[in-house]
């Protein structure tokens, strides 16, 4: 597919998706959200794509937030639908079934921070800033930030960010567990690609079900999560990839997974 606001390049099984609105600091308008949703559908269905990197165009911003120009006229019903639309797109990304990394090359504020939270791992440039400034506009995070941020960094640290609206730098984000790695700005995309490639070298079905197990487990009690984990473990024992993986280990050679 062709997109107006995205660039998609596939290298060595990893799709690099660049949000390309540098004149708007890659802000997420309705059209861009729709394109992200379409791209997620396309990449999930493409067996040649084993993982995804999301980043922003230019050197200033990953995504500077939602497009403020679309917020001013929202009523309560329209505002709820505005929020639900973004939540659905970010859920789609989180549930892609393949590893997704955010390469945070600059400002990740508001909806941009929430987009990074929907990715499975995050690599930040040393110059990156992350924050949830919605309260400064009289609103709150609408694309999942009030739910994903506490799950990732804990209630206290999340509330400090959510209630102050103040951004944090990359090193602080690393310290509290908001990002996985911090690298120089010129290496942020390549580092994210390398991380995804390392993950994508493993069995595709095992990756998908591991993502499912973690996501489902976080939403329920431990006993329920353990039961679900055991069920998925049993399913994986029926796959050709499990036979290949155990055989390759015994034969001291790299496994050749087929996603079967």
* Catalytic positions, written as ranges: 114, 134
Do 99 and 46 contact (CB within 8 A), yes or no?
no
Closest CA to 9 of 18, 19, 21: 18
Instruction: Return the structure tokens found at 10.
Output: 């596939």
What is the enclosing helix (H) or strand (E) of 35? helix 30-45
**Residues 226, 71: Cα–Cα separation, whole Å:** 42
Instruction: Return the structure tokens found at 231.
Output: 């069920």
b vs e for 166-186, b when ≥16 Cβ sit within 10 Å of the residue's Cβ? ebbbbebbbebebbbbbbeee
- Phi, psi angles (nearest 5°) of residue 7: -120, 130
The C-alpha R_g of the chain, in whole angstroms, comes to: 19
**Residues 114, 134: Cα–Cα separation, whole Å:** 11
């Amino acid at each position: 597919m062709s997109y107006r606001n995205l660039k998609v390049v596939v290298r060595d099984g990893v799709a690099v998706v660049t949000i390309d609105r540098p004149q708007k600091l890659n802000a997420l308008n309705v059209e861009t959200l729709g394109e992200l949703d379409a791209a997620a559908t396309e990449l999930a269905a493409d067996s040649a794509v084993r993982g995804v990197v999301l980043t922003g165009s230019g050197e200033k911003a990953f995504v500077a937030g939602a497009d403020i120009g679309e917020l001013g006229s929202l009523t309560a019903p329209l505002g709820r639908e505005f929020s639900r639309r973004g939540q659905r797109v970010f859920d789609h990304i989180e549930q892609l079934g393949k590893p997704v990394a955010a390469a945070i090359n600059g400002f990740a504020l508001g909806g941009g921070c929430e987009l990074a939270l929907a990715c499975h791992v995050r690599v930040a440039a040393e110059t990156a800033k992350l924050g949830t400034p919605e309260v400064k506009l009289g609103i709150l995070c609408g694309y999942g930030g009030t739910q994903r941020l506490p799950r990732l960094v804990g209630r206290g640290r999340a509330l400090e960010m959510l209630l102050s609206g103040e951004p944090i730098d990359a090193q602080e984000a690393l310290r509290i567990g908001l990002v996985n790695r911090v690298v120089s700005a010129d290496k942020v995309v390549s580092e994210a690609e390398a991380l995804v490639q390392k993950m994508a070298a493993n069995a595709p079905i095992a990756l998908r079900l591991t993502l499912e197990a973690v996501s489902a487990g976080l939403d329920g009690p431990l006993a329920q999560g353990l039961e679900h984990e055991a069920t998925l473990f049993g399913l994986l024992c029926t796959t050709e990839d499990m036979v290949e993986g155990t055989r390759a280990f015994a034969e001291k050679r790299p496994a050749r997974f087929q996603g079967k």
